[in-house]
Amino acid sequence: MFTEREKILIENLVIDYISTGAAISSERLLKKSKLKCSTATIRKDLNNLESKGLIEAAHVSSGRIPTVKGYRYYIDNNLTRKPLSEEEQDAIRKLINSDVNQNTIISSTTEFLSEISDFAAVIGSLDSDKKTFLKLEIHNLSSTKALAVLLMDNNHIDNKIIDINNVSKQKLISCVKYLNDNFSGIELKNIPKILTKSLDTIRSEIDTALKVLNNFIYPDVDNFVVTGQKKLVDSEEFYNIEKVKKLVELFEKKQTLKELLTTCITNENIQIYIGNESGTDLLTDCSLISAPYKKNNQTVGVLGVIGPKRMNYQRIVEIVDFTAKIFSKK
């Protein structure tokens, strides 16, 4: 829990750091917050916030900067949206509603997002092809993991590492046989609905089958476009060559970015991942703001902006959210 004064201090510290990029001293924070107390009291509060993991000293004997936890507290409790100007809104509408093909719109919108945010932008879309189940194979890798290989129509093969903890070998064999005998030729996404209507007498096979199939039915970003990598690398946050190397690796390792976008697409609302919240070390120094977009009320893609942790969240959140909403009306 935080005192009211501590809440005011963390909000002002994050806002000032985002604006200036400089570590914040107790004297400056007292002036910015307009609190009626001494600098000694402010220093004591800052020590408390540091012990709680919300801020840290940039260098020995220097001011404080927010940690990932500090940014998260600010975003969850203090972030207010900054509406786009009418000109910016009109530009986004005109771009997305232009009479060109979808791929061109996606490419142009990604470039526009990068330009307006001054960071890297990404748009990913789901594989829209129907997937028909033909055959499933499971190969044990260990006592807790197995490789599930799914053969679908059009010679499409997908494989996933699945968790088989607390699932017996015999139950897996029964599950595979049950699915292959009863569902070959059925559209993949429809199988869980059919399974849940099956008789209780085969409940064991159904439970195991659902666990296995959910690994493949889970939305998976198929194609994505990234623009503005140089803008992100050129930002003042990435003066350290090691930080730049991580960014280069992130954009080169397309599978990492694909997995991250797939995670983003499963969320209905706008998502903000700060640093290691993304689950990859390659984004330790960055934040990702993403939002899904829909067609006929079904999520078909995700768009977002990748920038430094010290970004103008008020503005970028609004840019991403507004663009996703216009995309959904296309």
Q: What is the CATH number of the domain that holds 295?
A: 3.30.450.40
Residue 166 in tokens: 């607390």
For residue 32, the model assigns a pLDDT of 93
* Closest of 148, 55, 120 to residue 306, by C-alpha: 120
Domain assignment of residue 175, given as a range = 133-217
36 and 150 in a single domain? The answer is no
Query: Which letter does DSSP use for residue 23 in this model?
Result: P
pLDDT at 328 over 70: yes
The CATH code of the domain that includes 173 is: 3.30.390
For residue 136, the model assigns a pLDDT of 92
188 and 321 in a single domain? The answer is no
Model confidence pLDDT, tens digit, residues 274-326: 999 988 899 999 999 999 998 888 788 899 999 999 999 999 999 999 999 99
Chain CA centroid to CA 23, Å: 28
Model confidence pLDDT, tens digit, residues 120-146: 999 988 765 667 899 999 998 888 888
Higher model confidence: residue 99 or residue 291?
A: 291
Alpha helices in 101-142 (DSSP H): 102-117
Boundary of a domain, candidates 191, 217, 243 = 217
For residue 251, the model assigns a pLDDT of 87
290 and 253 in a single domain? The answer is yes
Higher model confidence: residue 83 or residue 223?
A: 83
For residue 220, the model assigns a pLDDT of 59
Boundary of a domain, candidates 217, 239, 261 = 217
243 and 184 in a single domain? The answer is no
Model confidence pLDDT, tens digit, residues 12-51: 999 999 999 999 999 999 999 999 999 999 999 999 999 9
For residue 275, the model assigns a pLDDT of 94
* Closest of 28, 117, 109, 19 to residue 64, by C-alpha: 28
Q: Quick check: 83 and 321 in contact, CB under 8 A?
A: no
Model confidence pLDDT, tens digit, residues 169-220: 888 888 889 889 989 999 887 787 787 666 544 555 666 776 676 666 555 5
In the three-class reduction of DSSP (H, G, I as helix; E, B as strand; rest coil), residue 4 is classed as: helix
193 and 318 in a single domain? The answer is no
Positive or negative, the CA dihedral 172, 173, 175, 179 is positive
243 and 310 in a single domain? The answer is yes
For residue 207, the model assigns a pLDDT of 67
The per-residue DSSP string of 168-200 comes to -HHHHHHHHHHHHHHHTTSBGGGHHHHHHTS-G
90 and 138 in a single domain? The answer is no
pLDDT at 55 over 60: yes
On the CB side of 165, CA atoms within 13 Å amount to 1
Split into its structural domains, the chain has a count of 3
122 and 229 in a single domain? The answer is yes
pLDDT at 155 over 60: yes
Q: Quick check: 140 and 163 in contact, CB under 8 A?
A: no
229 and 208 in a single domain? The answer is no
The CATH code of the domain that includes 62 is: 1.10.10.10
For residue 320, the model assigns a pLDDT of 96
Phi, psi dihedral angles at 300 (to 5 degrees): -120, -5
For residue 299, the model assigns a pLDDT of 82
Q: Quick check: 277 and 286 in contact, CB under 8 A?
A: no
Residue 255 in tokens: 């599978």
Model confidence pLDDT, tens digit, residues 217-254: 555 566 788 999 999 989 888 888 988 999 888 888 77
Residue 39, number of CB atoms within 10 A of its CB: 14
94 and 112 in a single domain? The answer is yes
11 and 53 in a single domain? The answer is yes
Q: How confident is the model at residue 115 (pLDDT cuts 50, 70, 90)?
A: very high
284 by Cβ neighbours in 10 Å (0-12 / 13-18 / 19+) ranks as: middle
Mean pLDDT of all residues in 85-98: 92
For residue 38, the model assigns a pLDDT of 94
The per-residue DSSP string of 156-169 comes to -EEEEEEE-TT--H
Higher model confidence: residue 155 or residue 115?
A: 115
Query: Which letter does DSSP use for residue 238 in this model?
Result: G
Boundary of a domain, candidates 217, 240, 271 = 217
Query: Which letter does DSSP use for residue 187 in this model?
Result: B
120 and 141 in a single domain? The answer is no
For residue 253, the model assigns a pLDDT of 78
Question: Measured between alpha carbons, how far is 242 from 249 in angstroms, rounded to an integer?
Answer: 11
Mean pLDDT of all residues in 59-71: 88
pLDDT at 72 over 60: yes
In the three-class reduction of DSSP (H, G, I as helix; E, B as strand; rest coil), residue 270 is classed as: coil
Question: Measured between alpha carbons, how far is 104 from 94 in angstroms, rounded to an integer?
Answer: 13
